Amino acid sequence: TTLGLDDFEVLSTIGTGSYGTCKKIRRKKDGKVLVWKEMDYGSMTESEKKLLVSEVNLLRELKHCHIVRYYDRIIDRSNTTIYIIMEYCGGGDLATLISRCRRDGIYVDEDFVWKIVIQLTLALKECHRRKNGKAVLHRDLKPANVFLDSDQNVKLGDFGLARVLQHETSFAKTYVGTPYYMSPELVNNMSYNEKSDIWSLGCMMYELCALHPPFTAANQTDLNRKIRLGDFSRIPIRYSSDLDMIIRKMIQVEVSKRPGIDAILNEPLVIAHQTHSDRRLTGSS
């Protein structure tokens, strides 16, 4: 039996992004707390609607402990709003954590950084696992989209549904976030591959340690130049040179030298830092 809008109770509004509003909801039959994202369905073109629904269907197949679960979608009777129902992450996101550290002048523990690197790599592996064109591209890897659950474990979320729509112009509002995590090959308009995600992951891990991205600039031209050069300073000295080295491998301009997802997971340093539950997932015990 599929559920309808009446089967949920809205608890509160979490926030509004460029493409819709996220609300915390409760499923009445079992009291489970979830999130739904409300998007303006009525103003989409037929092809945008098709694209969005097929993307959500793809996301619903993605079932992994480090990826936000997408459960369902409901379109209201009048066809004005689509409600995308997903797992609720109660531990906040990495962008909030980073700005809180910056404000309070504190750093996160090194063990936490290792845990996040490993869990995010596992999440990316699952996204890329599907071959023959069915790989799920996140499209928007940044600290704001890395959530934590109440046990401080990673849930990669907020998949770029918006980008699906951005190819289709009428609905699109221009996205104006600064692409601090964009890889040099993307800056150079070359094709996206899993190593571009490794670059972005390295940049996010750098920021989790340094509390600022590895490359910053006042304008896009300068940022692009710095990304192409690939020079950045060491993470704060409180972090080990092992961690610095792993991050440096990920933020490597030369794609052929940059490790892929499996190479990261097979790094001896990474294996040494796996927790028991993640060890089961990587298959190395």
- Put residue 129 in one of left, alpha, beta given phi > 0 → left and psi -120 to 50 → alpha: alpha
State both tokens at 149: 């659950």
Concerning whether 93 is annotated as a catalytic residue, the answer is: no
| Separation CA 33–CA 62 (nearest Å) | 20
Check binding of 143 to ligand ATP (CB under 6 A).
no
Positions in 75-94 near Mg ion (CB under 5 A): none
Pick the catalytic residue from 93, 140, 158, 197: 140
State the binding string over 146-175 for Mg ion (x if CB under 5 A, else -).
------------x-----------------
Strand partners, 9: 26
| Separation CA 87–CA 155 (nearest Å) | 9
**What is the three-class DSSP state of 188?**
coil
Residue 89 interacts, among ligand ATP, Mg ion, none and using kind-specific CB cut-offs from 5 to 8 Å, with ligand ATP
Check binding of 89 to ligand ATP (CB under 6 A).
yes
Residue 14 interacts, among Mg ion, ligand ATP, none and using kind-specific CB cut-offs from 5 to 8 Å, with ligand ATP
| Separation CA 114–CA 118 (nearest Å) | 6
Residue 165 interacts, among ligand ATP, Mg ion, none and using kind-specific CB cut-offs from 5 to 8 Å, with none
Q: Are 203 and 185 a contacting pair, CB within 8 Å?
A: no
- State the catalytic residues: 140
Q: Which residues bind ligand ATP (CB under 6 A)?
A: 14-15, 17-20, 22, 35, 37, 68, 86-89, 93, 144, 147, 157-158, 162
